[in-house]
Structure 1
Amino acid sequence: MFLDTLIRRNPAFIEAAMALHQQGKIPANAYVLDLDAVENNARLFQNEASRHDLKTFAMTKQVGRHSGFCQAVMKGGIDRSVAVDMACAVACDRAGLKTGHLGHLVQVPRQEAAFAAAQLQPDYWTVFSDEKAAEAASAAKAAGRTQQLLARIQTEGDTFYRGHEGGFAAEDVVEVAARLDALDGGAFAGITTFPALLFDLDTRKVKPTPNLATLGRAAEALAKAGRSSIEINAPGTTSSAVLAALAEAGATQCEPGNGLHGTTPLHAVEDLPEDPAVLYLSEVSHHHGGKAYCFGGGLYIDPVFPKYQVQALVSSEPTSSRSALLDVEIPDYSAIDYYAMIDATGPKPPASGDTVVFGFRGQAFVTRALVAGISGVSTDNPKVTTIENGFGDAVSWPGAFQQ
C-alpha cells in the first residue's frame, strides 16, 4: 500500500537500500530506515507541534526501537519518547531519547516499577487502576521523586482494540484525580486514552473516536473542580496534518510513530509533509510451482486496510522502476512467515539472490526482522549506520553469522 508513495517520493532511498543489499551490507529480512528523511520528518513535525503548543513524544516500536532512529528524531528536535512497554523505554533511553511517557499502552509490571522510577524517570506515567497508581507512586517515593501520573479513562461507547481495554471510569475522574494526588510519591497530572483518532476507510480521512469526546467531557469536569491546567494525552494516527485538530480538541500532548516515517494510513492516500522513510527488504531464495520464494521474518503488514494485492520491487540491480513490480502472496497472519511467494510466470522470472523491496506499514517489534539504518541518502552518499534487532541491540553483520 505504501510502495507507490515510496517510488514517487523517495526513489533514491529504494535504490540505495537495494545497492547496499547487493553489496552484502544489508541482510535479507530487514526493515531499512532513511535516517536523513526521519530527521527531516521529525523537524517539520516538531515545528508544527510547537505552533500548537503540543508536547511531542516519539513512538519507536514500529521500527524496532532502532538507536539511529532515536538519534535522528532527536536531531529533528524531538527529545522525548513514548514507550509502548519497558523494553521500548530501555532501548530509547540507552540511545539517548529519554522517556517522556511510560505505561501506555502497556502498564509497568510491578517488579519493574522501581527500575522505571529510579532509572528511567519518566515525565509522565499512565496508570489504569488505583493499584497500578500506588505501585508507581511507591516506586517514585523510594527513588526520591514525585511522579506525574496520567489516568487512562474510559466510558461506555469508547473505542478500544481488543486486548487494549482498561482504565478508570471517566465519570469518576474528579475523584480519581483526588486519589492520585493523595498518593505519597504521586501527583495527578492529566488524562489519556487510545485511540483518540482513527483512519476512516469510507471517507479516507482521519476522524476522532468517541474517546476524544470522553477526554473533553472529563477535562470539563476537572476544570469545574478547579483543575484547569491538566495534561491531555491524545494519541492515535498522528501526523503533522492532524495536530491542529488535536489542539482544537484540547490535547496538550501528541505521540507520532508511523508519522515520523511517513506510514500512517493517511500517508497512503494523501501526500502529507512527511516523506516515506522505511521499507522492508528481502531476497529471492528459490523457485517452486511458478513462484519465486523470498525470505520472510518481518512480513507483518499492520492490517489498517482491508487485504489488498501486495506488490514488491524485484531486481538484481538498484531500481525504483515500476517495471520491476511483481505481485506477491503473503502467508496468512496465522502462519509463520518463513517466505513470501512472488509471481514468477512472466518473461523474466526473478533470480535467486535478487533484492526484494516492499513498502508497507509494519510493526518491527513483533517480528524477528532486523532493522538497518542508512544515512546519507539525501547527499547521494548512502551508508549503513547500525543493524539492530527489535530490542535496539546492535548486531554485527555479517560477522555475527560467520564462524
Structure 2
Amino acid sequence: MFLPLLRRRAVPLLRAAHAFHRAGVLPPNTYVLDLDAVERNAAAVTAEAQRLGLTPFAMTKQIGRNPDASRAIAAGGISHAVGVDLECAVAAAAGGLGIGHLGHLVQIPRHSADDAAALEPSFWTVFSEAKAREAAAAAERAGRVQDLLIRVAAPGDRFYRGHEGGIAPEDVAALADLVDGLPGARFAGVTSFPATLFDPGSGTARSTPNLGTLTRVKRALLAAGRTDVELNAPGTTSVSVLQTLAEAGATQVEPGHGLTGTTPLHAVQDLVEDPAIVYLSEVSHTWDGDAYVFGGGLYVDPVLGDVPTRALVLGDDVDVADAAELDVEMPAPSAIDYYAVVPGAAGRARPGDTVLFGFRPQVFVTRALTAGIRGLSTGRPELAGIWAADGSAPLTVTAALGTGRPS
C-alpha cells in the first residue's frame, strides 16, 4: 500500500536497501529505516506540537524499538517515548529515550510494578483502583511521587476487541481524589485509545467518540476546581491531526507511524512526513512457476483492511525506478510467515534477487530485523546498525558459537 509512495518520495532509501542487500551488507527479513527522514519527521511533529502546546511521546514498537531510530527521534526533538508495554519501555530507555508514558495500552503486571517505577515514567496509566494502588505503592518504594493517568471508557466509545477497560466518566473524579490520597501517587489526567482513526470512506482521519469523552471529562474536572489536567490522546498521530487534538483539549500526543510516514492517511495523501521504512527480503526459490520470498516480518497492520500487497523484485542490473510492481500472495494470518509467494514470477525472478515491500509494519510482533541508514539526505548512505525486533543486538552464527561478536 505504501510502495507507490516510496517510489515517489523515497527512491534513495529503496536504492540503498537494494545496494546493501546486493553487497551482502543487509540480510533479508530486515526493515530498513531512513534515519534522516525519521529525524525530519520527528522535528516536524515537535515544531507543530510546540506551537500548539502539546507534548509528544514517541511510539517505537512499530519500528522494532530500533535504538538508532530512537537517537534520530531524539535529535528531532522528541526526548521521551511511550511504552506500549513494560518491555517496550525498557527497550526505549535502553535506546536513549526517557519514558514519558507507560501502562497504556498494556497495564503493568502486579509483580512488575517496581520495575516500571524504576524507569521513572513521567506518566503511568491505570484502568482501575487496584492498578492505581499498585503503581502508587511501587512509586513510594522508589522514593518518588508518580503522576497517574486514568483510562476512561464510556458507552459508545470505540475500542479494538481485547483493548477494552477503564473507568466510567462519572467515576473519574472519585478515583482521582482517591489517587491523590495514596502515598506515592498524584492524579494527573485522563486518556483513551484511539482518539483518532482513519475513515476509509472519506480518506480522512476523524476523531472518535473516545476523544469527545475525554474532552467532557476534562471539562468536568476543571469545573470542579482541578487544574493542569492532562489529556493524552493517541491514535493515527501525525502533524495533520495535531490542531484538532489541541482544540479538543489534548496535552499529550503519541506519534508512532507518523515518524515513518506510514499512518493510513499517508497511504492516500501526501503529508508533511516522509516515508521512511521499507521491508527488504530475497527470493529463496522458485517452484511451479511461482517465486518464493523469505518472510519473518510479513505482518501487515490490518488497519486499512484487506488491500493487495505488491513488491519490487530486483537483480543486479535493475533500478528501482524501472522495476515493475508485482502482486504478492501473503501468508494467511493464521500461518507462520516462512515465505510470501509472487505468483507467476519464476521466469523473471532468480534465487538471491532483492525484494522490496512497502507496507505498514508492527515490527515488534515479528521475528524481523531492523537496520537504520543515515546519510541518505546527503547522498552518502551509511549503515548505522542491525537490530532484532526487540531492539537488542542479534547474534551472528559465529558469535553464537563463541567465535565472533554481535553484529
* Category of TM-score, reference length = shorter chain: over 0.9
Q: What is aligned with 2:88?
A: 88
Distance in 2, Cα, partners of 1:312 & 1:145: 51
Q: Is the 8 A contact 2:5 2:275 kept in 1?
A: yes
What do residues 4-23 of structure 1 show as CA deviations (whole Å, max 9, x unaligned)?
Answer: 10000010100001100111
Matched, 1:297 2:292: no
Q: What is aligned with 2:237?
A: 238
Q: What is aligned with 1:275?
A: 274
Residues 377 and 207 from structure 1, CA distance in 2 versus in 1: closer, same or farther, beyond 3 angstroms?
Answer: same
Q: Is the 8 A contact 2:63 2:364 kept in 1?
A: yes
Q: Which moved more, 1:166-175 or 1:354-363?
A: 166-175
Q: What is aligned with 1:172?
A: 171
Residues 399 and 321 from structure 1, CA distance in 2 versus in 1: closer, same or farther, beyond 3 angstroms?
Answer: farther
Residue identity in the other structure for 1:393:
S
What do residues 161-220 of structure 1 show as CA deviations (whole Å, max 9, x unaligned)?
Answer: 011111111121111211111111000000000000000010010001100010011012
Q: Is the 8 A contact 1:212 1:249 kept in 2?
A: yes
After superposition, residues 1-400 of structure 1 pair within 5 angstroms as 1-118=1-118, 120-317=119-316, 319-345=319-345, 348-396=347-395, 399-400=398-399
Q: Is the 8 A contact 1:33 1:372 kept in 2?
A: yes
Other structure's SS at 1:6 match: helix
Distance in 2, Cα, partners of 1:149 & 1:76: 27
Distance in 2, Cα, partners of 1:309 & 1:138: 49
After TM superposition, give the deviation of residue 400 of structure 1 in Å.
4.4
Distance in 1, Cα, partners of 2:192 & 2:233: 6
Q: Is the 8 A contact 1:14 1:319 kept in 2?
A: no
Q: Is the 8 A contact 1:387 1:396 kept in 2?
A: no
What do residues 122-159 of structure 1 show as CA deviations (whole Å, max 9, x unaligned)?
Answer: 00000000111001000100111000000001111100
* Root mean square deviation of aligned Cα: 1.4
Distance in 1, Cα, partners of 2:254 & 2:208: 16
Distance in 2, Cα, partners of 1:325 & 1:20: 20
Distance in 1, Cα, partners of 2:272 & 2:202: 20
Q: Is the 8 A contact 1:315 1:324 kept in 2?
A: no
Distance in 2, Cα, partners of 1:320 & 1:143: 54
Other structure's SS at 1:241 match: helix
Residue identity in the other structure for 1:18:
H
What do residues 316-360 of structure 1 show as CA deviations (whole Å, max 9, x unaligned)?
Answer: 1363225332111001111111000013348x5101000000000
Residues 373 and 345 from structure 1, CA distance in 2 versus in 1: closer, same or farther, beyond 3 angstroms?
Answer: closer
Distance in 2, Cα, partners of 1:170 & 1:67: 38
After TM superposition, give the deviation of residue 71 of structure 1 in Å.
0.3
Residue identity in the other structure for 2:234:
P
Q: Is the 8 A contact 2:231 2:252 kept in 1?
A: yes
Distance in 2, Cα, partners of 1:197 & 1:345: 40
TM-score normalised by the chain length of structure 2: 0.96
What do residues 93-122 of structure 1 show as CA deviations (whole Å, max 9, x unaligned)?
Answer: 11110100010111111111112112x000
Q: Is the 8 A contact 1:311 1:325 kept in 2?
A: yes
Distance in 2, Cα, partners of 1:7 & 1:62: 21
Distance in 2, Cα, partners of 1:237 & 1:305: 12
Question: Which consecutive segments of 4 or more residues in structure 1 shift more than 3 A?
Answer: 396-403
Between the two proteins, the alignment pairs up a number of residues equal to: 401
Q: Which moved more, 1:315-324 or 1:387-396?
A: 315-324
Q: Is the 8 A contact 1:195 1:236 kept in 2?
A: yes
Residues 49 and 11 from structure 1, CA distance in 2 versus in 1: closer, same or farther, beyond 3 angstroms?
Answer: same
- Structure 2: segments with no counterpart, 5+ residues: none
What do residues 293-312 of structure 1 show as CA deviations (whole Å, max 9, x unaligned)?
Answer: 00001000001112122110
TM-score normalised by the chain length of structure 1: 0.97
Distance in 2, Cα, partners of 1:164 & 1:304: 15
Other structure's SS at 1:164 match: coil
Q: Is the 8 A contact 1:291 1:341 kept in 2?
A: yes
